[in-house]
Structure 1
Amino acid sequence: MSGRSGPFWEGVQGRAPLPRAAATLGLEFLDADVENGTIELAFTATEDFTNPVGNVLGAFLAAMLYDTVGPALLATLAPDEFQSTLELHTHFLRPVRPGRILGKGRVVHRAGDIAFLEAILTTPDGTTIATAGATARVIPLGQAPTSV
């Protein structure tokens, strides 16, 4: 994958800094299968992510899911393409404590510039924490919004 380029690959291959939000989540690139549209990532949930009872807030889990579905699509795109998430829906299945969280994402289907995506977060032992589905639009890199 060292021959790939574009904003996503620049970050995961260390040629550019990770986006600040991804760095905050402790994002670590593990693997991608570009042909099959799958990606594996890891996140580090810190004590700063917890609610009053010590569980990782759902908002941080949703951010991890968001940072899994997007890169699943980004990894498959040409260097001059980017993606814009149109919607994300999440399912929180069980609480989790701070620590390493694994994310797996995949492109379920792509039709033209619209892609349907899925992601799952698990503990290192394979227990499912949360899942998400998303819809995204592939856009020219120059059209990537600078703010939402």
Structure 2
Amino acid sequence: MHLYHAYVCMSYLNEIKNRGQKANPFFCLMGIEPESFGDGKARLSMAVRDDMKNGEGWLQGGLYTALGDEAIALAIYTLLSEGETIATVSCTTHFIRGVREGTIFADGTVVRKGRTMIYAEASITNAKDGNLLARCTASFIVRQGTGTG
């Protein structure tokens, strides 16, 4: 067991609790707000901005994936044991509906946490009407206290 990694995991969750968005530089860049997290679940929100839209005026699809991946990762962090770190292996997004404005939510949930792999999913919904916009499924590798790439 490597104490640095236990510290990193617990420190990150504590930083999110104490500092919110400011604990994650990507959250700051994208305007992502942590709404809630714990017990293998996490909810993030993000306001749609004009600089996030594609040429047709819709939220660019990669942002659904990025938001879903972040919600999934935060949900996973709530279940990691001392010395465990994670890395995304795959993330697939199914696009269902577009959005042009407002706020969207990503609800990440751990489906199964094994010793070496974690499977999880996220639903991206529109805050205005709750409509499903996209669904992400992902797998993550669990690393045991190594800290190298």
| 1:113 to partner: Cα distance | 2.2
Instruction: For 1:95 and 1:16, locate their aligned partners in 2 and report how far apart those are by CA, in whole Å.
Output: 25
Equivalent in the alignment of 1:51: 54
Unaligned runs of 5+ residues in structure 1 are none
> For the Cα contact (< 8 Å) 2:71–2:106, is it kept in 1?
yes
Q: Alignment partner of 1:109: what SS?
A: strand
Equivalent in the alignment of 1:137: 141
Selected match of 2:15 from 4, 7, 10: 10
Render the CA deviation track for 1:95-147: whole Å, top value 9, x for unaligned: 111321111010001111210000010011210000010000122465264xx
Instruction: For 2:76 and 2:22, locate their aligned partners in 1 and report how far apart those are by CA, in whole Å.
Output: 19
Instruction: For 2:145 and 2:57, locate their aligned partners in 1 and report how far apart those are by CA, in whole Å.
Output: 40
Q: Alignment partner of 2:55: what SS?
A: coil
Q: Quick check: 1:25 aligned with 2:64?
A: no
Selected match of 1:62 from 65, 81, 93: 65
Which amino acid is the alignment partner of residue 135 of structure 1? S
Which structure has the highest helix share of the two? Answer: 2
Q: Alignment partner of 2:98: what SS?
A: coil
Selected match of 1:116 from 119, 128, 143: 119
Task: Write out aligned runs for 1:69-108 (5 A).
Answer: 69-78=72-81, 80-108=83-111
Cα distance 1:144–1:6, how it changes in 2: closer, same or farther (>3 A)? farther
Q: How many residue pairs were aligned?
A: 140
Cα distance 1:13–1:144, how it changes in 2: closer, same or farther (>3 A)? farther
Task: Write out aligned runs for 1:32-43 (5 A).
Answer: 32-34=37-39, 37-43=40-46
Identity %: 24
TM-score, normalisation: structure 1: 0.83
Which amino acid is the alignment partner of residue 141 of structure 2? R
| 1:32 to partner: Cα distance | 2.0
Unaligned runs of 5+ residues in structure 2 are 1-8
Cα distance 1:49–1:143, how it changes in 2: closer, same or farther (>3 A)? same
Instruction: For 1:65 and 1:127, locate their aligned partners in 2 and report how far apart those are by CA, in whole Å.
Output: 15
| 1:17 to partner: Cα distance | 3.4
| 1:11 to partner: Cα distance | 2.9
TM-score, normalisation: structure 2: 0.83
CA RMSD of aligned residues (A): 2.2
